[in-house]
Amino acid sequence: MKPAKKYYVFAAGLILFSALLAFFNTAQPVIVEQFINHLNASKETLAFWLVMYFVSFAAILLIELCRKLLEARYSASLKDWLRRKVSDGVLGLGAEAFTERAPQEYISVMNNDVPVVVEDYYLKITNIIFQLLSILFSCTVLTRIYFPLAIVSAATSILIAVIPFLFKTRLQTRREKSLDSIGAFNVKFSDVVFGHSEIRIQQIGTAIRRIVSLASEDSAKKEFDYERTQSYSEIVIGCVSFLGTFLIIALGGIQVYLGNLDVGSMFAAYQLSDQLVGPVLGISTALNTVVASARIREKLAGFVGTKETPQEETLPAQPGINGKELQTIEISDLTLKRGERYIFRNYFCKFEKNRKYLVVGQNGSGKSTLMHLIAGDFAGKNAEISGQVKVNGVDRKLVPDREFFGEVTILSQVPYLFSGTAEENLTLFGTLDMKEMKTLSALSNDTLQKLFDGRREISNESNEISNGEREKIALLRALMKHSKWLILDEATAALDKKSKRDFEEYLLSREDLTVIHISHTCGEEDMDRYDEVLRIGE
pLDDT band at 512 (very low <50, low <70, confident <90, very high): very high
DSSP 8-state secondary structure symbol assigned to residue 347: E
Which residue stretches of 195-310 are H helix?
196-202, 205-258, 263-304
pLDDT at residue 403 is higher than 60: yes
pLDDT at residue 63 is higher than 90: yes
CA distance 478 to 526: 22
Q: Which residue, 159, 139, 161, 160, is CA-closest to 151? A: 139
Paired with 336 in beta bridges are 344, 385
pLDDT at residue 366 is higher than 70: yes
- Whole-number pLDDT of residue 4: 67
Digit-coded pLDDT (tens) for 34-58: 888 888 888 888 899 899 999 999 9
pLDDT band at 246 (very low <50, low <70, confident <90, very high): confident
pLDDT band at 306 (very low <50, low <70, confident <90, very high): very low
Q: Is 315 exposed, middle or buried (0-12, 13-18, 19+ CB in 10 A)?
A: exposed
- Whole-number pLDDT of residue 20: 94
CA distance 390 to 405: 14
CA distance 419 to 142: 61
- Whole-number pLDDT of residue 307: 44
Angstrom CA distances, 301 to 119, 326, 509, stand at 16, 38, 51
pLDDT at residue 312 is higher than 50: no
- Whole-number pLDDT of residue 303: 67
pLDDT at residue 77 is higher than 60: yes
Per DSSP bridges, beta strands 394-395 and 384-391 are antiparallel
CA distance 107 to 187: 9
- Whole-number pLDDT of residue 363: 79
> pLDDT higher for 230 or 329?
329
Is residue 182 a contact partner of residue 219, using CB atoms and an 8 Å limit? Answer: yes
* Superfamily covering domain 328-535: P-loop containing nucleotide triphosphate hydrolases (3.40.50.300)
pTM over 0.75: no
Angstrom CA distances, 495 to 387, 438, 447, 491, 501, stand at 35, 20, 12, 9, 9
3-state secondary structure 482-526: CCCEEEEECCCCCCCHHHHHHHHHHHHHCCCCEEEEEECCCCHHH
Q: Which residue, 311, 315, 373, 365, is CA-closest to 343? A: 365
- Whole-number pLDDT of residue 309: 42
Q: What is the mean pLDDT of residues 93-104?
A: 76
pLDDT at residue 216 is higher than 70: yes
CB-side neighbour CA atoms (13 Å) of 13:
17
Residues of the chain by 3-state class (helix, strand, coil), percent to 5: 65, 10, 20
- Whole-number pLDDT of residue 208: 82
Read off the amino acid at residue 512.
D
- Whole-number pLDDT of residue 482: 87
- Whole-number pLDDT of residue 301: 78
Task: Tell me the three state secondary structure of residue 324.
Answer: strand
Angstrom CA distances, 487 to 355, 401, 405, stand at 12, 15, 11
Digit-coded pLDDT (tens) for 16-33: 999 999 999 888 888 888
Digit-coded pLDDT (tens) for 493-511: 888 888 888 888 999 999 9
For the chain, what percent of residues have pLDDT higher than 90? 18
CA distance 59 to 53: 10
- Whole-number pLDDT of residue 54: 93
- Whole-number pLDDT of residue 3: 67
Residue 472, C-beta contacts closer than 8 angstroms, at least 6 positions apart: 443, 444, 447, 448, 495, 499, 503
CA distance 390 to 374: 9
Parse the chain into domains and list their residue ranges. 5-76+102-304, 328-535
> pLDDT higher for 470 or 93?
470
Alpha-carbon Rg for the chain, nearest whole angstrom, is 34
- Whole-number pLDDT of residue 184: 83
- Whole-number pLDDT of residue 19: 93
CATH classification (class only), 5-76+102-304: mainly alpha
Angstrom CA distances, 188 to 214, 216, 385, stand at 10, 9, 31
Mean pLDDT of the chain: 82
pLDDT at residue 311 is higher than 50: no
- Whole-number pLDDT of residue 201: 54
pLDDT at residue 310 is higher than 50: no
> pLDDT higher for 247 or 448?
247
Longest dimension (CA), the chain: 113
- Whole-number pLDDT of residue 151: 82
CA distance 349 to 368: 14
Paired with 517 in beta bridges are 358, 488
Q: What is the mean pLDDT of residues 434-438?
A: 76
Q: What is the mean pLDDT of residues 445-466?
A: 67
In sign, the C-alpha dihedral spanning 257, 258, 263, 267 is: negative
Is residue 291 a contact partner of residue 168, using CB atoms and an 8 Å limit? Answer: yes
- Whole-number pLDDT of residue 299: 77
Q: What is the mean pLDDT of residues 378-390?
A: 82
